[in-house]
Amino acid sequence: MQEIRTQLSEDLTAATTSQDVEAVRVRYLGRKGEITLLRKNADFSAMSAEEKKRFGQQFNELKRFAEQQVAAAQARQTGTAPAPPSIDMTLPGLNNHLGHLHPISLVQLELEEIFQSLGFMILDGYHVETDFYNFESLNIPRDHPARDMQDTYWLKNGLLLRTHTSANQVRALEHYGAPVRAVFPGRCFRNEAIDPSHENTFYQLEGLMVDREISVANLIAVMRTVLTAVFHREVTVRLRPGYFPFVEPGFELDIQCLICAGEGCSTCKKSGWIELLPCGLVHPRVLEFGQVDPDRYSGFAFGLGLTRLAMMKYNIPDIRLLNSGDLRFCEQFPAAV
């Protein structure tokens, strides 16, 4: 009986016209149908009273089931099926899935929390900037070769898409004066040919601290504190000289490779160190552009590549995944709460 029940359901599912349904009805419930014959052929004389009773019950149940299913299938074919239940739009949805935070947002939020705990403000800037804030005020005049390092998207009106979050430095100095402690996370743009490690749209987190007697020691202390919190373990840092027109001295800050602890492996290309971020002491000319007296104040600045950090932290092999909008990528990161 169970087999007949299953077979009937399958046959009805496969039926696409009302003639098909009728054929199914005849096959099971007709005078010589399988269900009808089940009773005709039953050998009641070989059954006990108890067995007869059970057979009767099961047979009746099967027959009722078959009749109902056939009637419903017939109704579906002839369009007389009952209307689906009406929808109550005020009920909460069944799927209250909120989506996932993008890995760059995750890294950004984590850094913001760390910097806030150190007394830094989180500030926003403009994606469309002036030549003055993006270059001139950072000690990169119009004919300076350092402009060649940042292939800029210029707009027809003379403005540009900011090439780095450093564009916020002088804006913040003008607005808040000294002392000031701030970080500026955000999107930057450069005319790059796109490949697994280059994008025309990427994220940085700029930092600026200006106060009395700020030195390289303060820079190293803050960087070590922040990086230890980001990587959840003690990190060893080193500074190498690096050139950027808006800092003097300027550095490349490296961290000791976290994979091999400085032994040398494929991740650190056998050097034991990983280049992490450029930084330095704010150039006196930048302070002057921001109306801050360089004889009274000094400061440090750094430019952390958020995109690069997210790729390192989550082992993301191709930068193009980040702006792909592909949910299969985003859904691998913790859900929004």
The site string for ligand DAH over 55-84 (x = CB under 6 A, - otherwise) reads ------------------------------
278 in contact with ligand DAH (CB under 6 A)? yes
Minimum distance from residue 90 beta carbon to ligand DAH (Å) = 51
Distance CA 24, CA 20 (A): 6
- Choose the stretch contacting ligand DAH; rule: CB under 6 A; options: 7-15, 221-229, 242-250, 261-269: 242-250
First to last CA, the chain: 51
- Choose the stretch contacting ligand DAH; rule: CB under 6 A; options: 23-31, 192-200, 276-284, 309-317: 276-284
What letter would DSSP give residue 165? G
Distance CA 250, CA 236 (A): 19
Compare residues 167 and 230 and give the one whose CB is closer to ligand DAH: 167
Question: Which is it for the CA torsion 85, 89, 92, 96, positive or negative?
Answer: positive
CB burial class (10 A; 0-12, 13-18, 19+) of residue 129? buried
Interface residue with ligand DAH among 140, 292, 303, 308 (CB under 6 A) is 303
- Helix H or strand E segment including 282: strand 273-282
**Nearest-CA neighbor of 5 among 40, 38, 53?**
38
Torsion angles phi and psi, residue 67, rounded to 5: -65, -40
Which residue of this chain has its Cβ atom nearest to ligand DAH in the complex?
A: 303
Residues 154-173 close enough to bind ligand DAH by CB under 6 A: 164, 166
Structure tokens at 300: 């440090």
Minimum distance from residue 192 beta carbon to ligand DAH (Å) = 12
Tally the residues of the chain.
337
Minimum distance from residue 124 beta carbon to ligand DAH (Å) = 17
280 in contact with ligand DAH (CB under 6 A)? yes
247 in contact with ligand DAH (CB under 6 A)? yes
Contact 310, 285 (CB under 8 A): no
Cross-strand bridge partners of residue 240: 252
Interface residue with ligand DAH among 21, 223, 279, 312 (CB under 6 A) is 279
- Using the structure block, give the residue that is written with the tokens 């000289």: 241
- Choose the stretch contacting ligand DAH; rule: CB under 6 A; options: 36-44, 77-85, 120-128, 273-281: 273-281
Minimum distance from residue 267 beta carbon to ligand DAH (Å) = 23
Compare residues 164 and 181 and give the one whose CB is closer to ligand DAH: 164
115 in contact with ligand DAH (CB under 6 A)? no
301 in contact with ligand DAH (CB under 6 A)? yes
Compare residues 28 and 251 and give the one whose CB is closer to ligand DAH: 251
Distance CA 193, CA 200 (A): 7
Neighbours of 289 (CB within 10 A): 20
Distance CA 146, CA 135 (A): 9
Neighbours of 128 (CB within 10 A): 13
Minimum distance from residue 321 beta carbon to ligand DAH (Å) = 22
Interface residue with ligand DAH among 244, 273, 289, 297 (CB under 6 A) is 244
133 in contact with ligand DAH (CB under 6 A)? no
Compare residues 99 and 141 and give the one whose CB is closer to ligand DAH: 141
268 in contact with ligand DAH (CB under 6 A)? no
- Using the structure block, give the residue that is written with the tokens 């390289």: 216
Q: Which residues bind ligand DAH (CB under 6 A)?
A: 164, 166, 206, 244, 247, 250, 278-280, 301-303
